[in-house]
């Protein structure tokens, strides 16, 4: 009899209302009993309100999370002296809540709690409607195998004596990537949701670009040592796909308002990318342009050439004017030329680090597992606290941790996504979806290229960014096939 009542309640939509009321009461009661001087009670009281909002617009709730993640600084300590995040950017959304609440057993952060909340709302909405539709992710088999590989490697590393907290720190960003590639298709129901998410990404990174100009010209007064930065390391990397998003929108003549907005901020993004002095971003921008040429059809290649030529000529003129200059505006040129300096300390560090990684791979062909340090054939200075767990070269890092077989599986996933995106760009009928597919292919190529030289696959912000794009690709491909 009870089972029939549950079915009747589910059909009438009353179960979610009862769940929300009950959960809200429990959370408020918990807030009253907790320390009122800490932030946790205020966060807990906000959860029922968030549930009500997410219930009606779960896709917009996710878009809000993406915007917050992209605007917030994950590692403000890497910024140059004198550069401070704006107050909202200092929110501890990337820190384990155990650090600022009594919940010492909770190794999760606010981003993860938000994602769990979104997934829970999606599930309850499915129950209230009488069916739960699980939509396929992009390249579902390759995605499942890659995620399973990382999970098994995590378990092996911890079971063989690895540090659990360090192992968790290593894999959580990859967890966002794989998880969002699956979750986003479940949350996105309409074409306008795709547009909203693109606007949020472009808008948030556009704000970051304007902030970068302010930091460089006003706060630092153009006085920035060659080894310092005024932006997070991942910011210029995330800027790169936006240049090509602009090019593709112009070519296909879709979303005119977004195109006009990109026309305004693209030059600013390019200037800030140059001034941040991230050498690998310079290289990746050029190689992504070459990759796009291969990806495009002949007519689109001509459009790209028309748009890229003025930028290339301006860049060449800039290099000629500031080559060897001591002017602050010439620092990006000097920084780029350091790529070719054999005596550069940063270059030497990476060479030695790579030798250690290759040695570890030779000694442990099946992988060492997450939470385990790689072996040191040659000593390295302690550049940061996890220098012997998470190296700069995060492509070889996957090989070290997962072994040769696991490395092949994970790299196959990325290669499969690039191939799927390239196919979708040529096959999908909606021009916006074709634009998105091309941008996803570039974003994955860009991320892998940069990850070979710089810490990237363990950063939350760009893995949420890339996971969102992968999730959108899976959704639009499904739409096209159904239509």
Question: Between 461 and 9, whose confidence is greater?
Answer: 461
Contact between residue 184 and residue 62 where contact means Cβ atoms under 8 Å apart: yes
Contact between residue 281 and residue 236 where contact means Cβ atoms under 8 Å apart: yes
Alpha carbons 337 and 339: distance in angstroms, whole number: 5
| Least-confidence region, from 51-60, 81-90, 439-448, 461-470 | 51-60
Q: Is 300 within a domain? A: yes
Q: Is 177 within a domain? A: yes
State the residue range of the domain holding 401: 138-482
Contact between residue 157 and residue 371 where contact means Cβ atoms under 8 Å apart: yes
User: What's the confidence (pLDDT) of residue 288?
Assistant: 94
Long-range contact pairs involving 442-445 (C-beta distance under 8 Å, separation at least 24):
442/240, 442/241, 442/244, 442/288, 442/291, 442/292, 442/295, 443/241, 443/469, 444/414, 444/417, 444/418, 444/470, 445/287, 445/288, 445/291, 445/418
Q: Is 4 within a domain? A: no
Structural domains of the chain, count: 1
pLDDT in tens, 362-403: 999 999 999 999 999 998 888 888 889 999 999 999 999 999
User: What's the confidence (pLDDT) of residue 5?
Assistant: 43
User: What's the confidence (pLDDT) of residue 42?
Assistant: 52
Question: Between 107 and 283, whose confidence is greater?
Answer: 283
pLDDT level of residue 6 (50, 70, 90 thresholds):
very low
pTM score = 0.88
| Least-confidence region, from 69-73, 276-280, 342-346 | 342-346
User: What's the confidence (pLDDT) of residue 327?
Assistant: 76
- Helix axes of 58-71 and 110-129: crossing angle, nearest 10 degrees: 170
Question: Between 299 and 398, whose confidence is greater?
Answer: 398
pLDDT in tens, 400-413: 999 999 999 999 99
Mean pLDDT within 66-82: 87
User: What's the confidence (pLDDT) of residue 220?
Assistant: 87
| Least-confidence region, from 18-22, 105-109, 164-168, 233-237 | 18-22
Q: Is 278 within a domain? A: yes
- Tell me: pLDDT of 3 over 50: no
User: What's the confidence (pLDDT) of residue 175?
Assistant: 95
User: What's the confidence (pLDDT) of residue 131?
Assistant: 77
Q: Is 81 within a domain? A: no
User: What's the confidence (pLDDT) of residue 297?
Assistant: 81
Q: Is 96 within a domain? A: no
pLDDT level of residue 421 (50, 70, 90 thresholds):
very high
Q: Is 17 within a domain? A: no
**Percent of the chain residues past pLDDT 70, beyond the cut:** 86
User: What's the confidence (pLDDT) of residue 51?
Assistant: 58
pLDDT level of residue 43 (50, 70, 90 thresholds):
low
| Least-confidence region, from 106-110, 148-152, 199-203, 289-293 | 106-110
Question: Between 434 and 340, whose confidence is greater?
Answer: 434
């Amino acid at each position: 009899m009870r089972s029939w009542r549950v079915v009747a309640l589910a059909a009438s939509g009353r179960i979610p209302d009862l769940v929300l009321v009950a959960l809200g009461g429990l959370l408020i009661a918990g807030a009253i009993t907790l320390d009122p001087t800490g932030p946790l009670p205020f966060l807990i009281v906000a959860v029922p309100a968030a549930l009500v909002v997410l219930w009606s617009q779960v896709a917009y709730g996710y878009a809000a999370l993406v915007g917050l993640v992209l605007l917030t600084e994950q590692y403000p300590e890497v910024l140059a002296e004198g550069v401070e995040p704006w107050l909202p950017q200092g929110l501890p959304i990337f820190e384990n809540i155990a650090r600022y609440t009594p919940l010492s057993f909770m190794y999760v952060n606010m981003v993860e709690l938000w994602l769990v909340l979104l997934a829970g709302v999606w599930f309850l909405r499915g129950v209230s409607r009488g069916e739960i539709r699980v939509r396929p992710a992009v390249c579902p088999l390759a995605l499942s195998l890659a995620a399973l590989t990382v999970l098994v490697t995590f378990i092996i590393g911890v079971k063989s004596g690895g540090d659990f907290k360090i192992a968790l720190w290593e894999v959580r960003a990859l967890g966002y990537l794989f998880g969002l590639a699956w979750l986003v298709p479940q949350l996105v129901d309409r074409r306008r949701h795709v547009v909203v998410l693109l606007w949020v990404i472009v808008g948030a990174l556009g704000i970051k670009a304007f902030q970068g100009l302010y930091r460089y010209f006003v706060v630092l007064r153009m006085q920035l040592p060659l080894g310092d930065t005024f932006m997070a390391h991942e910011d210029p990397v995330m800027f790169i796909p936006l240049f090509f998003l602009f090019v593709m929108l112009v070519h296909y003549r879709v979303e005119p308002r977004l195109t006009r907005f990109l026309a305004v901020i693209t030059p600013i993004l390019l200037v800030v990318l140059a001034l941040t002095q991230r050498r690998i971003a310079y290289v990746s921008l050029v190689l992504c342009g070459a990759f796009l040429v291969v990806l495009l059809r002949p007519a689109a290649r001509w459009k790209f050439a028309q748009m890229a030529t003025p930028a290339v000529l301006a860049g060449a003129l800039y290099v000629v004017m500031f080559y060897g200059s001591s002017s602050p505006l010439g620092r990006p040129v000097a920084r780029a030329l350091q790529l070719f300096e054999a005596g550069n300390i940063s270059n030497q560090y990476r060479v030695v680090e790579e030798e250690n990684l290759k040695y570890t791979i030779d000694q442990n062909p099946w992988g060492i597992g997450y939470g385990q340090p790689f072996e040191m054939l040659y000593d390295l200075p302690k550049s940061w606290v996890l220098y012997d767990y998470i190296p700069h070269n995060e492509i070889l890092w996957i090989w070290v941790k997962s072994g040769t077989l696991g490395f092949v599986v994970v790299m196959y996933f990325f290669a499969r996504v690039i191939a799927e995106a390239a196919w979708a760009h040529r096959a999908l009928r909606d021009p916006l979806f074709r634009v998105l597919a091309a941008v996803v292919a570039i974003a994955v190529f860009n991320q892998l290229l940069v990850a070979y030289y710089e810490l990237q696959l363990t950063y939350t912000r760009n893995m949420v960014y890339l996971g969102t794009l992968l999730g959108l690709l899976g959704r639009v491909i499904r739409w096209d096939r159904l239509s």
